[in-house]
Amino acid sequence: MDENDIQIYKQRALDTTNTIFENSECNICVRMLTAEDLDWCIALQRQQPVERRLPWDMSGAALTDPYAFNFSFKILDADQRPAGACICQFLPATQADESPVLDVEMIQNFHIKDSILDGNMLRFALYAAILFMAETKCEGLRLISPINEDVADYYINVYGFIDICGKEILYRDAEGLFQWLQTDITQVEGEQKLSDNLTDD
């Protein structure tokens, strides 16, 4: 798998994620993280409480790493600054009997309240990550260093991740994530149809 293939898989995953958002009428889109986005992430994290700050100012190298999968979420009909962002690292297999893995190294919602991302940041990031995993045949996904134990417990209890390193690394296999994605998308589309029917009435 060469770097050109990786770039194609990244964009395809984001395009499909946006199609899911459009079909469910979510007022959000996902785009590849740009240098301007990263500047906004650095500025926005400074406005966060100290306990919620992440080292976005140390992530510049990820913009040029061909194996990094970085994306930002933007609210439609709003300013173009990122409402949330995610940095992932694709780890190719190094042995013939191994499979690739995707690491989510940093994820943050900058709009804590009154935003579609409130309570949905990991959920929507997983859409893009899982679709990329399907393209690259990853065997699983690791969440690296959740911001605190409460967040780690939330990921474990709600999204089915398992603790493999004292809540510093959480893991879920690809098969489980694919099943979760199929169920979640069906649920989202069902909720939208119900909302449409109620509105029509």
Looking up residue 74, the CATH number of its domain turns out to be 3.40.630.30
Q: Please give the pLDDT value at position 78.
A: 64
How far is the C-alpha of 129 from the C-alpha of 143, rounded, in Å? 11
Lookup result for tokens 């605190």: 148
Which distant-in-sequence residues (6+ apart) come within 8 Å of 17 by Cβ?
30, 124, 127, 128, 131
Comparing 107 with 116, which gets the higher pLDDT? 107
Give the pLDDT mean for 148-158: 95
Tokens found for residue 153: 């417990």
How far is the C-alpha of 82 from the C-alpha of 2, rounded, in Å? 29
Give the pLDDT mean for 70-98: 86
Which pLDDT band, with edges at 50, 70 and 90, does 71 fall under? very high
Q: How many domains does the chain have?
A: 1
Q: Please give the pLDDT value at position 190.
A: 53
> Domain span at residue 102?
3-91+98-200
